[in-house]
Amino acid sequence: MVNTMKADLRFHADLRDFLDKPARSSGRVAHFFNAQGSVKDAIESHGIPHTEVARIVVDRRSVDFTYQVADGDRIDVYSVSELLGVAPTKTLCPPAPNPVRFVLDGHLRRLSRYLRLIGFDTVCEGAWNDDDLVSIQAREDRILLTRDVGLLKRSAVVRGAYIRATDPHQQLVEVVRRFHLARRLDPFTRCLECNGVLSAVDKDEVAGNLPPRTRELFDDYVMCPACRRVYWQGSHFARLTHIVQAARDADQAAAASSLHPLAERDHDDNDAGREL
């Protein structure tokens, strides 16, 4: 069937990264269609997941995702990153859950550890498939973080974000900025491995399981009630403190320069260790 109607879409800022190469520099795309459909479907048909869109303007009028595209429309589509300072009620972005909590694609395992490090309830299991991620996001009212564009296009994904950076430190800064988390940090309160909430434990209780040198050097320990891991302020502590500080500074920091658009899902490496 020949498409007989046409709308002009103009994507702004980093939404252009999702477009096919010829359209990337201008952000302009001709959208041909032959039956009425929502602007959400039109936008996503060109590669942009709805979670990354903060505002849609048709002929100077703001519309929501259900707007039915008409022949001859000129549609401007603005990115979440452009409207970070704008109240969510004035954008298409749903408000973040309170408290803020996340579910992460298994490929973002190091980011999940860093989000726990700064105190956010974060679940991430390599065994979960796309259906699992979407249903956990909805059922537990979590924000889905992924580098899988297709996953974010699913209509059941209400709260989600595409993670642009490939470096886990940069990813953390990106998430803190996007969800305005810098003032809501509660570092060193969650188990990095399993998301359990840590609580103080007597040295005597755990001494038998500690390396002798650790026992000598440290008096304060916390334990995860879920997986029984014990943490102390060991040699990794300074490095982890730096990561926390980078998260605190994230809102002030200049726009991250090392963000790479739409790279393949990155591979995770193991960053295990019990020392805080």
Shortest separation between residue 88's beta carbon and Zn ion, angstroms: 32
- CA–CA distance, 98 with 143 (Å, rounded to integer): 11
223 binding Zn ion? (CB under 5 A): no
Shortest separation between residue 244's beta carbon and Zn ion, angstroms: 19
Rounded to 5 degrees, what angle do the CA atoms 143, 149, 151 make? 60
Q: How many CA atoms lie within 13 A of 35 on its CB side?
A: 2
- Nearer to Zn ion among residue 141 and residue 193 (C-beta): 193
- Nearer to Zn ion among residue 9 and residue 192 (C-beta): 192
For every residue of 127-177, which 3-state class applies, written as one string? CCCHHHHHHHHHHCCCEEEECCHHHHCCCCCCCEEECCCCCHHHHHHHHHH
Which stretch in 54-62, 187-195, 201-209, 267-275 sits in contact with Zn ion by CB under 5 A? 187-195
Which stretch in 22-30, 61-69, 163-171, 217-225 sits in contact with Zn ion by CB under 5 A? 217-225
Tokens of 33: 């269609």
Shortest separation between residue 198's beta carbon and Zn ion, angstroms: 8
Contact yes or no for 93/79 (Cβ under 8 A): no
156 binding Zn ion? (CB under 5 A): no
131-134, long-range: CB < 8 A, 24+ apart? 133/103, 133/105
262 binding Zn ion? (CB under 5 A): no
User: Which of 226, 242, 258, 261: binder of Zn ion (CB under 5 A)?
Assistant: 226
Tokens of 128: 């979960």
Which stretch in 100-108, 115-123, 171-179, 192-200 sits in contact with Zn ion by CB under 5 A? 192-200
- Nearer to Zn ion among residue 220 and residue 249 (C-beta): 220
Handedness of CA 226, 229, 234, 240 (dihedral sign): negative
Size of the site for Zn ion (CB under 5 A): 8
27 binding Zn ion? (CB under 5 A): no
Tokens of 36: 């009425």
Cα–Cα distances in angstroms (integers) from residue 106 to residues 17, 142, 143, 144, in the given order: 23, 15, 14, 11
273 binding Zn ion? (CB under 5 A): no
Shortest separation between residue 4's beta carbon and Zn ion, angstroms: 59
User: Which of 9, 103, 222, 224: binder of Zn ion (CB under 5 A)?
Assistant: 224
- CA–CA distance, 50 with 152 (Å, rounded to integer): 7
- Nearer to Zn ion among residue 227 and residue 262 (C-beta): 227
Tokens of 123: 């679940």
88 binding Zn ion? (CB under 5 A): no
194 binding Zn ion? (CB under 5 A): yes
- Nearer to Zn ion among residue 152 and residue 224 (C-beta): 224
Tokens of 121: 């309830």
User: Which of 187, 196, 234, 273: binder of Zn ion (CB under 5 A)?
Assistant: 196
Q: Which residues bind Zn ion (CB under 5 A)?
A: 191, 193-194, 196, 224, 226-227, 229
